[in-house]
């Protein structure tokens, strides 16, 4: 297992969960953390889980996600959370910065999964 990717996954999961808990208890956070950090963290979290499932299902510990799959997921997240959901659900707002963050974190995941131990 790529330890760098695993540690980044754990860090992302812990950080994202902490932000949600702090927001739930109305702890004041800087705007950049409240509105953008979790958008940056979600793509690597989802991709890591998918990668582990695919490694298991294909019985191939060296399996990696190619860039087109990663970009496809980033595109779907952008389409759903920045176009469709804001049209129909008041909880969501359109924000082009989120789209950039989805793709930036997708590229970071691609880079991290390619790094050697």
Whole-Å CA distances, 15 to 22, 45, 82, 94: 10, 11, 22, 23
CA atoms within 13 A on the CB side of 86: 11
CA–CA gap between residue 23 and residue 26 (Å, rounded) = 5
14-39 mean pLDDT: 96
CA–CA gap between residue 23 and residue 6 (Å, rounded) = 26
What size, in residues, is the chain? 117
Determine if the pTM surpasses 0.85: yes
* Residue 1: pLDDT band with limits 50, 70, 90: confident
Q: Are 12 and 37 in contact (CB under 8 A)?
A: no
Residue 76 CA to its chain's centroid (Å): 12
* Residue 116: pLDDT band with limits 50, 70, 90: low
Q: What is the pLDDT of residue 21?
A: 97
Structure confidence by residue, pLDDT tens digits, 38-88: 999 999 999 999 999 999 999 999 999 999 999 999 999 999 999 999 999
């Amino acid at each position: 297992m790529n330890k760098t990717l695993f540690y980044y996954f754990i860090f992302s999961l812990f950080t994202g969960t902490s932000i949600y808990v702090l927001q739930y208890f109305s702890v004041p956070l800087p705007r950049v953390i409240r509105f953008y950090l979790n958008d940056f963290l979600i793509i690597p979290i989802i991709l890591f889980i998918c990668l582990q499932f695919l490694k298991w299902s294909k019985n191939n510990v060296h399996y990696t996600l190619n860039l087109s799959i990663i970009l496809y997921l980033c595109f779907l997240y952008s389409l759903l959370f920045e176009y469709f959901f804001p049209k129909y659900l008041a909880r969501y707002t359109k924000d082009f910065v989120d789209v950039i963050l989805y793709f930036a974190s997708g590229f970071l995941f691609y880079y991290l999964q390619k790094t050697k131990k």
